[in-house]
Amino acid sequence: MFRPWSVYRLFGEKPKMRKPSKILIILAVALLHNSPQSEVYAAKRDYGVIKNQTSPHAKLHSVDIRDVRWTDGFWADRFAVTRDVTLPRLWELASDPEKGHAIQNLRIAAGIEKGEFKGTHWQDAWVYKWLESACYIYAVTGDAELDKQIDRIVEVIAKAQRPDGYVASQTIVREWPRFQDAHHHELYTMGHLITAACIHHRVTGKMKLLSVARKAADYIWDTFKGRDPKLAEFPRNPSIIMGGVELYRTTGDSTYLDLANFFIDWRGSRYGKGRRDTWGRVTGGSDLNQNWRPLRKETEVVGHAVFFTYLYAGAADAYMETGDKTLLSALERLWTDLVAKKMYVTGGVSPKHKAHPVRSFGPGKLSVIAGDSIHEGVAAPYDLPNDTAYNETCGQIGNLMWNWRMLAITAEARFADIMERSIFNSILSGIEVDGDGWSYTNPLRWHGADHLLRSNDTHRRLDPGQRMICCPTNLMRTVASWHNYLYSVSKKGLWVHHYGGNIFDGRLADGRKLKLTQQTDYPWDGTVRLAIDDVEPGEAVSIFLRIPAWTQNADLTVAGKAMSVACKPGSYAAVTRKWAAGDMIELSMPMPVRMIVADPLVEHTRNQVAVMRGPVVYCLESIDVPGGVRFEDICLAADAKWTVQHRPELLGGVTVLRTKALVIDKSVTRDVGGYRQVGDIQPGRTDITMIPYYAWNNRLESKMAVWLPVRW
């Protein structure tokens, strides 16, 4: 049986039509009123972050963006911070000619103002992901001023687009030739433009940005469909695949599905089976970009974390539309490799700043350095360093997006478990709790002010500026849309994937209206109550509740009566009945403090433990260690007793864990090099407080550790 964390264990655009007659209008209105299952009803829906409502090879389908609203608790607070702080702050920075220059680049490309291009080659994506985030927030708030702000930037984007459809300010403003260097990221920025345009149309019903996206996609298809070998290295970052599938779903034009499938097949096609020399070194293609071997032939996850997660998410999107089993089998194989051998306890999936992959060439054969230099990605199995961990926030978001699509395909809880682990730990850790200040890397050990900074590390969270611009807006759009990841529907009923105080007011797959309220203090408390507020009469239908892999002995009651329903960890518990207003479901998930050990092959964490409670990974910061005690001398007792305390005034409101830790006696005589004999160490004890990992580096510039030594 596969263990979900086997590295860790517990100790369409409308066609043109003639003007309808009054009779047709009356009939249409009648259909809309009386038949919610009708095409007229479907056309009025906005659907979710992916519009897979009619995808033939998806078991689960998105609910509408407007169907779910936060009420209170953890995620309601974070949505409010995103709306009130992060969204306006990132617009302000994007508009600042010194700190961001992202808006200026597009305005110069549009001919609205004069100037020079500044920033990264992917600076445009800052604007597109901001726009997508604004659409999610507008869908909830209906803020008229935000709608006008969105309209204004859409006008700029439309003017920046060239007559043939090409739009990329990094080359237009500089007057550079197109597609001369894959690092210029033209397809990446246009991929995000297309995705933002689909969401914009879905939420507002407006056509202008969607028309820009279609024109851009048509240009890309015309440019690449001839399979010019000079373009074989494009794209590096394959956001265009997800964008292409979403544009197909939005418009119904199969050209855009062809576009997405083309780029899936194109990646690695130039190098066939993958050419390597005797020592396994690449002689064509790149591990970094996953293009030395076609996706369907990949046997392990390699390279840049954003590149591989976006590629696999796009391939999962394509599978939902085509049912190509060769894609799905590859995705399953790669998912298992990543989760079983290359993922941190926090959900992080990119341990390396820079590295060369290490491969084993079969039983009895030597493992050797194999492949080209990679950065921001994975390396050898079980190679998960802590203080040098990269874990770019965007890579963790890409992993969440991939798992969301795999969940839609399979309806298997293991994918929702990965999403939960990522969002609560390695994604939220990329932003300060007050919503202003970001980090790209998410290490699991930090040496404070003396920490040696590597690529994109910073001692304090910073503004994105003109260099590190991708993660802040990516994180913002994830939090702004997280309410749309809570539920799915199928012919069997409603699926509840994630927990937080919210109201679902939507329809089941058969068109019946259902309204329910979810009440919970999750992730600080494992009790979740779902009250049925309103439901249209009909046949019995199921409500599926995810039982997280981390919990044991969960139980379910309906109307106060225990249900004989299996609550197996890492599965969905189905409650089936004819629902009526006033029905109450209560799910109770015990949340003991757990100490986790890694697979012994993870050399970096031998004889150490990580601490979790519910879905949250905890860390120790030196600010929470008593004065006079050296941070590095702290270790945990295997039989540690824990006190759980909620601190609403601390770090935006967190539950902390307190215990008596062991302290290595500093008076012990040390040998040459500072080594000590085990028998000479008589540890003392001291009080420590552990906080959620996502909230580290929000106070003083402290030392921090997720993994702590353990004394058995």
Residue 661 has pLDDT above 50, yes or no: yes
The distance from CA 423 to its chain's CA centroid, rounded to whole angstroms, is: 7
Whole-number percent of the chain with pLDDT over 70: 87
For the chain, the farthest-separated pair of C-alpha atoms sits apart, in whole angstroms, at: 96
Q: What is the DSSP string of 483-543?
A: GGGSEEEETTEEEE-S--SEEEEEE-TTS-EEEEEEEE-TTS--EEEEEEEEE---S-EEE
Which residues are 227's β-sheet partners? none
**What is d(CA 566, CA 556) in angstroms, rounded to the nearest whole number?**
9
**What is d(CA 394, CA 66) in angstroms, rounded to the nearest whole number?**
25
- Give the range among 130-144, 266-280, 406-420 with minimum mean pLDDT: 266-280
- Per-residue pLDDT averaged across 85-98, rounded? 95
**What is d(CA 701, CA 99) in angstroms, rounded to the nearest whole number?**
24
Tokens of 20: 């309808």
- Give the range among 280-294, 542-556, 599-613 with minimum mean pLDDT: 280-294
Given a contact cutoff of 8 angstroms between Cβ atoms, the answer to whether 407 and 498 are in contact is no
- Give the range among 73-87, 461-475, 486-500 with minimum mean pLDDT: 461-475
- Give the range among 128-132, 329-333, 403-407, 660-664 with minimum mean pLDDT: 660-664
**What is d(CA 123, CA 395) in angstroms, rounded to the nearest whole number?**
18
Which residues are 275's β-sheet partners? none
In terms of CATH architecture, what is 486-591?
A: Sandwich (2.60)
Q: Which class is domain 68-443+456-484? A: mainly alpha
- Give the range among 17-31, 134-148, 593-607 with minimum mean pLDDT: 17-31
Give the residue among 68, 679, 27, 4 at the shortest CA–CA distance from 340: 4
Residue 272 has pLDDT above 50, yes or no: no
Residue 89 has pLDDT above 70, yes or no: yes
Residue 229 has pLDDT above 50, yes or no: yes
Given a contact cutoff of 8 angstroms between Cβ atoms, the answer to whether 381 and 339 are in contact is no
| CA atoms lying within 13 Å on the CB side of residue 468 | 19
Confidence of residue 681 (pLDDT cuts 50, 70, 90): low
Tokens of 569: 């960890």
Given a contact cutoff of 8 angstroms between Cβ atoms, the answer to whether 154 and 208 are in contact is yes
Given a contact cutoff of 8 angstroms between Cβ atoms, the answer to whether 644 and 657 are in contact is yes
Confidence of residue 29 (pLDDT cuts 50, 70, 90): very low
Instruction: Tell which wins on pLDDT, 614 or 560.
Output: 614
Q: CA distances (Å), 676 to each of 119, 235, 267, 604, 629, in order?
A: 51, 53, 54, 20, 18
Cis amide leading into 363 (omega within 30): no
Tokens of 625: 């260690």
The radius of gyration of the chain from alpha carbons, rounded to an integer in Å, stands at 26
Q: CA distances (Å), 387 to each of 208, 462, 566, 621, in order?
A: 47, 19, 41, 14
Q: Where are the domains of the chain?
A: 68-443+456-484, 486-591, 593-711
- Contacts by 562-570 with C-beta closer than 8 Å and gap 24+? 570/4, 570/413, 570/414, 570/417
Whole-number percent of the chain with pLDDT over 90: 78
- Give the range among 44-48, 370-374, 457-461, 590-594 with minimum mean pLDDT: 370-374
Confidence of residue 119 (pLDDT cuts 50, 70, 90): very high
- Per-residue pLDDT averaged across 357-380, rounded? 65
pLDDT digits (tens, 9 = 90+) for 233-270: 899 999 999 999 999 999 999 999 999 999 999 998 87
- Per-residue pLDDT averaged across 219-245, rounded? 95
Note the pLDDT of residue 469.
78
Instruction: Tell which wins on pLDDT, 417 or 282.
Output: 417
Note the pLDDT of residue 372.
67
Note the pLDDT of residue 5.
41
**What is d(CA 415, CA 4) in angstroms, rounded to the nearest whole number?**
9
- Per-residue pLDDT averaged across 81-89, rounded? 97
Q: Which helix (H) or strand (E) holds 646?
A: strand 643-647
Which residues are 355's β-sheet partners? 374
pTM over 0.75: yes
Instruction: Tell which wins on pLDDT, 317 or 448.
Output: 317
Confidence of residue 14 (pLDDT cuts 50, 70, 90): very low
- Per-residue pLDDT averaged across 586-614, rounded? 97
Given a contact cutoff of 8 angstroms between Cβ atoms, the answer to whether 290 and 331 are in contact is no
Tokens of 143: 């803020």
Q: If you average pLDDT over every residue of the chain, what do you get?
A: 89
Confidence of residue 328 (pLDDT cuts 50, 70, 90): very high
- Per-residue pLDDT averaged across 493-517, rounded? 97
Confidence of residue 712 (pLDDT cuts 50, 70, 90): confident
Cis amide leading into 235 (omega within 30): yes
Note the pLDDT of residue 462.
80
Note the pLDDT of residue 16.
36
Residue 195 has pLDDT above 90, yes or no: yes
Note the pLDDT of residue 241.
98
Tokens of 269: 């096609």
Give the residue among 562, 554, 546, 557 at the shortest CA–CA distance from 583: 557
Note the pLDDT of residue 455.
85
Residue 137 has pLDDT above 50, yes or no: yes
